[in-house]
Amino acid sequence: MGMDLSGPVATAAPTLLGATLRHRGVAVRITEVEAYDGPNDPASHAYRGPTARNLVMFGPPGHLYLYFTYGMHWAANVVCGADGHASGALLRAGEVVEGIELARSRRGGASDRDLARGPGRLCQALQLSGEQRGTYLFGGGDVTLEPAEMTVAAVGSGPRVGVSVEADRPWRYWITDDRYVSDYRRSPRA
């Protein structure tokens, strides 16, 4: 595996910052992630155990877990932690660093800053969907994840976004002062 994602999700998730996710002609540098700890986290899709939808989260780290949210957007997570534990890091935001014209066409007029700023936008820019669920990101396939070329200078952490339980867990991580981090909005349900 190209990165060590086998540790606890709160430790593994920030290591994704600065990494580059590639798919179908577009590359996105990850600027923001959010950690979810399966059976120990009521906000996690894996909290109540394995289902057909979340089964990939229970497998070994380094796989892609994708799910459809709000009936309109795909969201991507990188499976972290020990095999069988079910934890993952939601890819919240990034900067398109290659294939910007292609990303623009997929995102229909969004500003360059907003091409991959938000989980649904990131998946749309990369053209990720349920078809890629379960993909091993370090196997040289269609979707790949490359470790950051340089250590991220400063990492911020704070409450998670869009969850109604455990929102205040400081498991949202971002590259401090990066303009491609999403705007924080507390869930109205929290």
- Determine the pLDDT at residue 153: 86
- Determine the pLDDT at residue 29: 98
List the structure tokens of 127. 């053209």
Under DSSP, the state recorded for 115 is S
- Determine the pLDDT at residue 85: 93
- Determine the pLDDT at residue 3: 85
Identify the architecture of domain 9-175 in CATH.
Roll (3.10)
Q: Where are the beta strands (DSSP E) in 62-150?
A: 64-69, 73-80, 87-98, 143-146
Residues in the chain with pLDDT values less than 50: 1, 190
Domain residue spans in the chain? 9-175
List the structure tokens of 76. 């991507």
Is the distance from CB of 54 to CB of 86 less than 8 angstroms?
Answer: yes
